[in-house]
């Protein structure tokens, strides 16, 4: 700017021409004396600043959470980001208020540093406050107000409860699970800053976290840790609840003891005295004392002494109840699948005194056997399904279910068994009359008859037949309606409306017990002819009448039903002299015909001629029945077959009969048709036959008017050799005097039973391509006959009762199969030992050798058992009588056992004697127990 003369003034007001902020201005003052001499002096810089400071932010340094909550009375507040680029900051105005922008608590305080110690002693916890800050620059300009809110919280959370167990299930002090510990907590509260997070840990002392260190679980209120954990140890759960001001409170649970073992058994004494009274002389009351029950882990909580139900009987089987096999709705005796099976026994067993504790199930090829499925405990389930197994066709299988009650008594029930049948029945032969022969015609329009034979099923047997009939040309599998006729081999369809001149077929198929159907076999067709012959029949009569003198003038002929009668044909004159005549008349079947001829010569002389014996009219074929075939073996592969039958023709008599033989009805592939020896039998020698071949004999008989009847025999089975027993077996089905449970598969040696009055056995797998017709068996013991040879028919199981069997004796069954030819197979045998008494004690003591803490027990000489009867043993060793705290062996076949004996137990801190109990049990379930005391 230009120099301004101020005269003798020492100040001046200058107008600046809009200098920019931050500009530096210097002033020069020049003083001039009267001599004209001048001296100048310059000012310091003047900085132009017309803008207030820039705003920053407020930070409370001692708030570690960096949130609005402060947990102490002194707080350091820092002013960050405030600035002034022109003149710089001079100081801050700081105030506190309850409303943003108003300093109604503390008025403005000048602060010349960028931080400020704030005393909150007079503040109220939980209230919302604001820190309000303004920055002033060196030009005296003030920035806008900046504020931040805060809440004072100087107290940690309150309340809180920590509980052991699963949330929602209630608090627990003990648990048997050693693999998981659960805990939950509730009722923690913080009214000022609120809950921020929980930390939880696990330890063996209150507030200790030596097992599981504290971990942050956020706002979760439950936790679960995986073990295993030490049985008998008490665990404490510590929960630390922290608020938003970073103040925390710890709470601990009352502790949880892990106990995975029941109390150690003690002794029970019954009776008023100090010891145990085995007998009670009255029924009014009973005194029970006990001692020695201990629990080292969680201690005894309480004793239960509920009324005792005396149960001396095993469960019983309800009347008319049985095990159902195949499905739960019905009992199937035959099934046609091999890979699965189901059995059900709901409501079969009853236990009126105590209760059923569990069921044991097995599957075997004989009752009470478990050679297919070894015995398994199924709990209280009343059904079992076996999948992905293989069941052998033709074998009978049995489920055995053992019901065990609460005192260990048990009852075994075997099913009636089921057989796998995967084959369809063998086809037979079907006839179109009721008499097991076929006819090409029938006169009835209201009935249609069928008969059949030869259908067979070797596994499950024929259960019923299905029959039907249909018109020729109108039948197929989709429109035939079959009728179940049971096991009858003949049937008449009645109340029909058959059409004259139409032909009809009959159909038969067999259904076995497994539900398989044979192929549908069709009878020969039969045509309905409901009208008698129409028009006259002609009868030719040969005449031998001569008159050499005057020759014949007239010849007249007639026919009657009586000699000399003309009821059938009136007398008429012949107009030829050929010595024969043709009589046309309605001759009726079975009517006797008498011919009368009157001849006159030219001398008017007459003669009367009669035919003599009556001629019988025959319109029907012979009647043939009762065909039978007898076979006798000549050599290894040839046989003589004698076929007999009854044949008659009441009108014209039988002229001749013929026979032929084939592998199917009416065929002749075995023997061509030949004349029979007589009209009643035919004998043939047949070569190159095989055992099991089936032969059908066809007989045809012709009467003297050349009308024939054909009849086919039942299939004749050729027997050239006995049944095969290479795969056959017979075995006893053990029966117990009491119910018992087998604990292992049946051994290879003889089976055993405790019942001394009954012997049951079954057999199977005799093979014969022809046909087995019966089985015969006998039972011996040491060469003496117990049951002599007995015919069992076709049964595969038998029961012999009311016997007097001796304990310790071996009984041997022998059985052979007989086929239709009378050939008997070789016998197969099986043995069973009767053990009707339990094992006896020999009087010898158990061998007990104690070396270096190991006790070796050997009871080989303690029990006197029956040779051949499988046995097993159980062993209990305790530090007190009745205890099993040293050893408890439920099942072993060995007679030697090693026991590591501890120096002390929970029951006996100073162990100096052992109570030993060994039980020897037959597979029949009968057992004997040996007791002894061994001092260490």
Band of residue 277 on the pLDDT scale cut at 50, 70, 90: low
Contacts (Cβ under 8 Å, ≥6 apart) of 693: 663, 717, 718
Q: Per residue in 96-138, pLDDT tens?
A: 888 888 888 887 888 899 888 888 888 888 888 889 898 999 8
Higher pLDDT, 72 or 500: 500
Band of residue 276 on the pLDDT scale cut at 50, 70, 90: low
* Position 457 pLDDT exceeds 90: no
Tokens of 559: 């026919």
Q: Per residue in 749-765, pLDDT tens?
A: 467 888 899 998 889 88
Provide the β-strand partners of residue 185: 162
**Mean of all residue pLDDT scores within the chain:** 87
- pLDDT (average), residues 177-196: 93
Which run of H or of E encompasses 655?
Answer: strand 654-662
With a threshold of 0.85, does the pTM exceed it?
no
CB 872 within 8 A of CB 744: yes
CB 624 within 8 A of CB 709: yes
Q: Which residue has the tokens 């699948």?
A: 337
Q: Per residue in 306-342, pLDDT tens?
A: 666 667 788 999 988 889 998 888 888 888 888 999 9
Determine if the peptide bond prior to 228 is cis (ω within 30°): yes
* Position 346 pLDDT exceeds 90: yes
* Position 376 pLDDT exceeds 70: yes
How many residues belong to the chain? 936
Strands 146-152 and 537-542: unpaired
Q: Per residue in 396-439, pLDDT tens?
A: 899 999 999 887 788 889 998 898 888 899 999 999 999 888 99
Please report the pLDDT score of residue 703 as a whole number: 94
Long-range CB contacts for residues 887-890, cutoff 8 Å, separation at least 24:
none
Please report the pLDDT score of residue 740 as a whole number: 36
* Position 534 pLDDT exceeds 60: yes
Q: Per residue in 140-154, pLDDT tens?
A: 898 888 888 888 888
Cα(230)–Cα(208) distance, rounded to whole angstroms?
16
Please report the pLDDT score of residue 284 as a whole number: 58
- pLDDT (average), residues 659-686: 92
* Position 375 pLDDT exceeds 60: yes
Strands 671-675 and 654-662: antiparallel
Please report the pLDDT score of residue 437 as a whole number: 87
Band of residue 570 on the pLDDT scale cut at 50, 70, 90: very high
Cα(773)–Cα(865) distance, rounded to whole angstroms?
43
Cα(495)–Cα(483) distance, rounded to whole angstroms?
15
Please report the pLDDT score of residue 746 as a whole number: 35
Higher pLDDT, 284 or 911: 911
CA 648 to chain centre: 64
Q: Per residue in 626-660, pLDDT tens?
A: 899 988 877 777 889 999 999 999 888 999 999 99
Q: Helix, strand or coil for residue 653?
A: coil
CB 830 within 8 A of CB 813: yes
The share of the chain scoring above pLDDT 70, in percent, equals 95
**Which of 230-234, 235-239, 537-541, 769-773 has maximum average pLDDT?**
235-239
* Position 822 pLDDT exceeds 60: yes
Please report the pLDDT score of residue 799 as a whole number: 87
- pLDDT (average), residues 259-265: 86
Q: Helix, strand or coil for residue 676?
A: coil
Provide the β-strand partners of residue 637: none
Q: Which of 47-56, 533-542, 824-833 has the lowest mean pLDDT?
A: 533-542
Please report the pLDDT score of residue 307 as a whole number: 61
């Amino acid at each position: 700017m230009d120099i301004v003369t101020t005269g003798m003034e020492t100040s001046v007001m200058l107008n600046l021409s809009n200098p920019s902020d931050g500009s530096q201005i210097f002033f020069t003052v020049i003083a001039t004396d009267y001599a004209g001499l001048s001296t100048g002096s310059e000012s310091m810089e003047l900085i132009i600043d017309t803008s207030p400071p820039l705003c920053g932010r407020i930070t409370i340094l001692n708030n570690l959470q960096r949130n609005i909550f402060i947990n102490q009375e002194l707080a350091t507040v820092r002013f960050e980001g405030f600035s002034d680029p022109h003149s710089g900051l001079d100081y801050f105005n700081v105030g506190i208020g309850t409303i943003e922008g108003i300093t109604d608590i503390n008025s403005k305080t000048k602060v010349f540093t960028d931080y400020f110690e704030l005393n909150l002693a007079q503040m109220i916890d939980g209230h919302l406050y604001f820190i309000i800050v303004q920055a002033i620059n060196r030009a005296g300009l003030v920035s806008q107000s900046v504020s931040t809110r805060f809440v004072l919280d100087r107290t940690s959370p309150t309340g809180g409860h920590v509980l052991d167990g699963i949330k929602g299930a209630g608090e627990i002090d003990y648990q048997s699970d050693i693999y998981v510990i659960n805990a939950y907590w509730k009722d923690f509260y913080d009214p000022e800053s609120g809950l921020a997070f929980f930390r939880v840990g696990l330890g063996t002392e209150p507030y200790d976290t030596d097992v599981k260190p504290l971990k942050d679980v956020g706002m979760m209120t439950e936790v679960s840790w995986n073990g295993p954990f030490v049985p008998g140890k008490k665990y404490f759960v510590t929960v630390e609840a922290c608020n938003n001001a970073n103040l925390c409170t710890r709470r601990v649970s009352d502790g949880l003891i892990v106990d995975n073992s029941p109390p150690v058994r003690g002794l029970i004494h019954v009776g008023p005295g100090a010891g145990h009274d085995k007998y009670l002389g009255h029924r009014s009351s009973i005194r029970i004392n006990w001692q020695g029950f201990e629990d080292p882990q969680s201690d005894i909580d309480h004793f239960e002494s509920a009324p005792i139900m005396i149960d001396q009987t095993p469960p019983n089987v309800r009347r008319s109840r049985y095990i159902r096999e195949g499905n739960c709705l019905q009992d199937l005796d035959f099934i046609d699948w091999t890979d699965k099976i189901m059995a059900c026994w709901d409501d079969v067993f009853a236990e009126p005194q105590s209760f059923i504790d569990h069921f044991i199930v097995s599957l075997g090829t004989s009752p009470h056997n478990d050679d297919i499925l070894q015995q398994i405990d199924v709990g209280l389930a009343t059904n079992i399904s076996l999948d992905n197994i293989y069941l052998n066709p033709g074998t009978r299988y049995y489920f055995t279910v053992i019901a065990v009650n609460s005192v260990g008594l048990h009852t075994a029930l075997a099913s009636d068994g089921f057989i796998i049948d995967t084959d369809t029945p063998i086809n037979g032969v079907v006839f179109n009359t009721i008499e097991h022969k076929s006819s090409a015609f029938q006169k009835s329009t209201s009935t249609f008859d069928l008969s059949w034979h030869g259908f067979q099923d070797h596994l499950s047997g024929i259960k019923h037949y299905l029959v039907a009939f249909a018109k020729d040309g109108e039948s197929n599998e989709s429109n035939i309606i079959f009728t179940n006729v049971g096991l009858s081999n003949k049937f008449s369809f009645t109340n029909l409306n058959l059409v004259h001149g139409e032909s009809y077929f009959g159909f038969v198929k067999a259904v076995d017990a497994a539900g398989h159907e044979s192929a549908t076999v069709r009878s020969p067709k039969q045509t309905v002819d409901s009208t008698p012959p129409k028009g006259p029949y002609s009868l030719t009569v040969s005449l031998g009448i001569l008159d050499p003198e005057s020759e014949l003038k007239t010849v007249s002929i007639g026919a009657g039903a009586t000699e000399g009668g003309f009821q059938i044909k009136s007398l008429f004159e012949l107009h030829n002299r050929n010595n024969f005549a043709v009589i046309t008349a309605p001759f009726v079947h079975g009517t006797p015909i008498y011919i009368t001829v009157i001849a006159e010569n030219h001398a008017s002389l007459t003669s009367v001629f009669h035919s003599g014996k009556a001629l019988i009219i025959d319109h029907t074929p012979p009647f043939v029945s009762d065909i039978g075939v007898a076979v006798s073996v000549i050599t290894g592969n040839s046989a003589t077959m004698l076929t007999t039958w009854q044949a008659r023709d009441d009108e014209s008599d039988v002229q001749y009969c013929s026979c032929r033989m084939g592998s199917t009805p009416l065929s002749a592939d075995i023997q061509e048709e030949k004349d029979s020896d007589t009209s009643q039998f035919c004998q043939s020698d047949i070569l190159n036959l095989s055992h099991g071949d089936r032969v059908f004999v066809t007989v045809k008989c012709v009467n003297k008017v050349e009308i024939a009847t054909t009849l086919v025999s039942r299939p004749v089975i050729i027997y050239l050799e006995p049944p095969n027993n290479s795969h056959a077996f017979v075995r006893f089905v053990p029966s117990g005097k009491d119910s018992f449970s087998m604990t292992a598969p049946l051994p290879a040696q003889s089976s055993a039973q405790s019942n001394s009055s009954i012997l049951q056995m079954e057999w199977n797998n005799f093979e014969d391509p022809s046909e087995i017709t019966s089985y015969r068996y006998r039972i011996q013991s040491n060469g003496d006959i117990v049951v002599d040879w007995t015919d069992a028919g076709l049964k595969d199981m038998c029961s012999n009762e009311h016997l007097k069997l001796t304990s310790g004796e071996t009984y041997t069954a022998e059985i052979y199969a007989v086929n239709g030819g009378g050939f008997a197979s070789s016998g197969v045998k099986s043995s069973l030992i009767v053990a009707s008494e339990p094992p006896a004690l020999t009087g010898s003591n158990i061998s007990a050798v104690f070396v270096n803490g190991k006790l070796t027990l050997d009871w080989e000489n303690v029990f006197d058992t029956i040779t051949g009867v499988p046995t097993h043993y159980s062993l209990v060793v305790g530090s007190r009588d009745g205890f099993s705290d040293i050893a408890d062996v439920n099942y072993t076949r060995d007679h030697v056992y090693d026991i590591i004996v501890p120096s002390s137990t929970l029951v006996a801190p100073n162990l100096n004697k052992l109570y030993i109990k060994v039980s020897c049990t037959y597979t029949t379930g009968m057992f004997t127990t040996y007791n002894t005391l061994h001092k260490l």
